[in-house]
Amino acid sequence: MRHTRTGWWLEEAGAVTPTAPLDGDARADVVVVGGGYLGLWTAWQLKELEPGLDVLVLEAAVCGHGPSGRNGGFCETLWGDATTLREQAGDSAALAVCRASENAVRGIGAWCETQGVDAWFREAPMLRVATTESQLGSWAESVRAAAELGAPEEIVAVSAEEVRARCASPLFLGGALHRLNATVHPARLGLGLRAKLLERGVRIHERTEVTRLDRDGGVGTRSGHVRAGAVVLAVNTAAAGFPGYRLSLAVASSHIVLTEPLPDVLDELGWTGGEAIVDSRTLVHYTRTTRDGRIVFGWGGGTMGVGGRASSRLELDRGVVAATREALGRFFPQTRGHEVTHAWGGPIDVSPSHLPIFGSRGRVHHGYGFTGNGVGPSFLGGEILARLALDRRDKWTRLALVDPPRRLFPPEPLRYAGGALIRRALVAKDAAEDEGREPNAPTRFVASLPRRLGLHLPR
């Protein structure tokens, strides 16, 4: 098994030659900081809205090599957050966000089609399953929320037989079907976007870390300065390193193991419809197939970052990868004789509400907090941030994801200590439930704290 920082998707997509770092000072109409999906979709939307605009992207490493190039490739809507959205903003605002997130999933598919980017986009429903008795019915609130918003078809409860007809894991006891979902090849999508932006005349400087944001529209790097009409901050967990954003998000992590191609196993499981599958634990497992017949299997139970920053060792956590691999064998015993070829991981930007947050402070426009669901929603984020940067107000900038009521995480060292304690309790709770035991009272109490604080942990 090759355990690397960046994973198999980027290997499969092939190497790119980094563009030249920024050398000295520059000017642009809009400077985008961060070349993951969010920054790149924002740059794309800016050119859609104003083709003549001078857009500059500054990326600390290489575009698409962060989490955008190594995630699970679940391209989801925000229907799973409908309950939170209703509580936060009311029914019509919740419905508007959910519908906009559907357009984002379809928009990514349409973009790949029209641009000729083969990012393995495949539309198929997502299954939320129960793998223990205690998880059964955990989707009831989401099913009710969709129905009460007038869209009962979006999330539908299904029996164990219906789940197993789509994927016959012995662990699956029932579930809910999310109608609209897709899977993508994350790295091909990120690098495809990078290539199309370069073709379109967007200037991209890689290996260029932004170290300072000025509210009047400038940014500083180690060796230069860019003056611009607007700045877009799209740096995922690194946002917590900029003044004013430190307590706005927390850092968790997610890890993936990948099997060799095993089409016979997929046939035996009857798992040939391309469904993405997630269980209903707090620290979720998620799994999907690839075009070449592999199983991608992930766990959102890795360690948290320190000081609001992702630890540089987080991707290489062998203990977390071993636990992920063990879970793969429980879900799909048929994989046991087969090789796990790759493992990797990455940081997750956790927002207090589980929902991404977009907004503006002066001429700096930000997006962060995807909480493990950024592939689909980052397209919508690009539509929003492009408009904020151009000072256009319309149905996108009025969505409830823009400037929501401000909620903060506790400061360090409380955040790290509390995060580590809560993670331990969540791991213990999930393990007890996997074994059919009731977690003890202190574990239950500590594990319930995120929810009491309105924090939903990610994959």
| Position 112, amino acid | C
Question: CB under 8 Å to 384, separation ≥6 — which residues?
Answer: 358, 367, 396, 397, 399, 401, 402
Which residue, 358 or 409, has its beta carbon nearer to ligand FAD?
358
Tokens of residue 41, six digits:
């979709």
Which residue, 76 or 154, has its beta carbon nearer to ligand FAD?
76
Which residue, 40 or 177, has its beta carbon nearer to ligand FAD?
40
Rounded to the nearest whole angstrom, what is the least distance from the CB of residue 150 to ligand FAD in the complex? 25
Rounded to the nearest whole angstrom, what is the least distance from the CB of residue 444 to ligand FAD in the complex? 28
State the DSSP H helix or E strand holding residue 210, giving kind and residue range, or none if neither: strand 210-213
Tokens of residue 94, six digits:
């919740």
**Is there a contact between 307 and 197 (Cβ–Cβ < 8 Å)?**
no
For residue 20, give the DSSP letter.
Answer: P
Which residue, 78 or 432, has its beta carbon nearer to ligand FAD?
78
**Is there a contact between 231 and 245 (Cβ–Cβ < 8 Å)?**
no
Q: What are phi and psi of 259, to 5 degrees?
A: -90, 165
Rounded to the nearest whole angstrom, what is the least distance from the CB of residue 7 to ligand FAD in the complex? 8
> Does residue 377 have a cis bond before it (omega within 30 degrees)?
no
**Is there a contact between 367 and 340 (Cβ–Cβ < 8 Å)?**
no
**Is there a contact between 252 and 347 (Cβ–Cβ < 8 Å)?**
yes
Rounded to the nearest whole angstrom, what is the least distance from the CB of residue 441 to ligand FAD in the complex? 33
Rounded to the nearest whole angstrom, what is the least distance from the CB of residue 367 to ligand FAD in the complex? 7
CA dist 162 and 93 (Å) reads 33
Rounded to the nearest whole angstrom, what is the least distance from the CB of residue 79 to ligand FAD in the complex? 13
CA dist 271 and 287 (Å) reads 11
Q: Give first-to-last CA distance, the chain, whole Å.
A: 22
Rounded to the nearest whole angstrom, what is the least distance from the CB of residue 101 to ligand FAD in the complex? 11
Q: Tell me which residues touch ligand FAD (CB under 6 A).
A: 33-39, 58-61, 66-68, 70-74, 76, 209-210, 234-236, 238, 254-256, 298, 345-346, 348, 370, 372-375, 378
CA dist 15 and 8 (Å) reads 12
Any bridge partners for residue 285, and if so which?
299
Rounded to the nearest whole angstrom, what is the least distance from the CB of residue 3 to ligand FAD in the complex? 13
**Is there a contact between 97 and 400 (Cβ–Cβ < 8 Å)?**
yes
Cβ neighbours around 293 below 10 Å, total: 16
Which residue, 47 or 366, has its beta carbon nearer to ligand FAD?
366
Any bridge partners for residue 437, and if so which?
none
Which residue, 39 or 439, has its beta carbon nearer to ligand FAD?
39
Which residue, 19 or 373, has its beta carbon nearer to ligand FAD?
373
Rounded to the nearest whole angstrom, what is the least distance from the CB of residue 440 to ligand FAD in the complex? 30
Which residue, 356 or 404, has its beta carbon nearer to ligand FAD?
356
Burial string for 251-262 (b: 16+ CB within 10 Å, else e) reads: bbbbbbbbbebb
DSSP 318-351: HHHHHHHHHHHHHH-GGGTTS-EEEEEEEEEEE-
Q: Report H helices in 7-90.
A: 8-13, 37-49, 82-89
Biggest distance spanned by C-alpha atoms of the chain: 63
Rounded to the nearest whole angstrom, what is the least distance from the CB of residue 323 to ligand FAD in the complex? 14
Which residue, 241 or 362, has its beta carbon nearer to ligand FAD?
241
State the DSSP H helix or E strand holding residue 377, giving kind and residue range, or none if neither: helix 377-389
**Is there a contact between 265 and 335 (Cβ–Cβ < 8 Å)?**
yes
Rounded to the nearest whole angstrom, what is the least distance from the CB of residue 34 to ligand FAD in the complex? 3
Rounded to the nearest whole angstrom, what is the least distance from the CB of residue 364 to ligand FAD in the complex? 13
> Does residue 413 have a cis bond before it (omega within 30 degrees)?
yes
